[in-house]
Amino acid sequence: MLQLTQLGIIHTIIGIIALVLAITSLVGNGKISPANSIGKLYIGFTVAACITSFGVQKLGHLSPAHSLSVLILLLLPVAIYFQRARFAGMTGEYIGMATMTFTVFLSFIPTIVETLTRVPVGDPIAENDKAPIIKMLLLALAVIFVVIIVFQIRKARTLRKSVL
């Protein structure tokens, strides 16, 4: 068994829903926007996942993953503000898009670590969070994040030029 508490199971389900919403929005809209329903749901589920994470303590105390939850909770309002801010022009929109996407990147870090150190049950893929496969996947995740940010900015610029 995965040794998850009831709160751990609820947290995992909420987190998976948030990530599915993020991917859906990124693929469908090229960004996560707090102005549409998918974006609002992503934000809500992400906040819930962050809050429930504090009750999930595999080691019996707070871990670096909890620090990521705090960072995500701090970054979400920044992302929302900049995506809605009119004074900053396109720079604000870029900052907002990148920050919102960064929250997804941060959410994937504990997802990858926890999954690979727990499954398959009894013989997990990674022994611990320092395993080479985890390092490799986190590096790949960082590259994907940069590619997505470049794509988002290019798409926003193209849309902006076509409107003008």
Question: For the stretch 62-98, what's the b/e string if a residue is b when 16 or more beta carbons lie within 10 angstroms of its beta carbon?
Answer: ebebbebbeebeebbeebbebbeeeeeeeebbbbbbb
d(CA 145, CA 97): 12
Cα(160)–Cα(18) distance, integer angstroms = 28
Token representation of residue 122: 């009894």
Domain boundaries, given as residue ranges, for the chain: 6-163
pLDDT digits (tens, 9 = 90+) for 116-153: 998 898 899 999 999 999 999 999 999 999 999 999 98
Confidence class of residue 158 from pLDDT cuts 50, 70 and 90?
confident
- Mean pLDDT value across residues 17-28: 96
Residue pair 136/116 in contact by the 8 Å Cβ criterion: no
Residue 162 has pLDDT above 80, yes or no: no
Taking residues 10-34, what's their average pLDDT? Answer: 95
Q: How far apart are CA 31 and CA 147, in angstroms?
A: 13
Q: What is the pLDDT of residues 45-99, one digit of tens each?
A: 999 999 999 998 766 667 888 999 999 999 999 999 999 887 667 788 889 999 9
Examine the pLDDT at 2 and tell me if it is beyond 70.
Answer: no
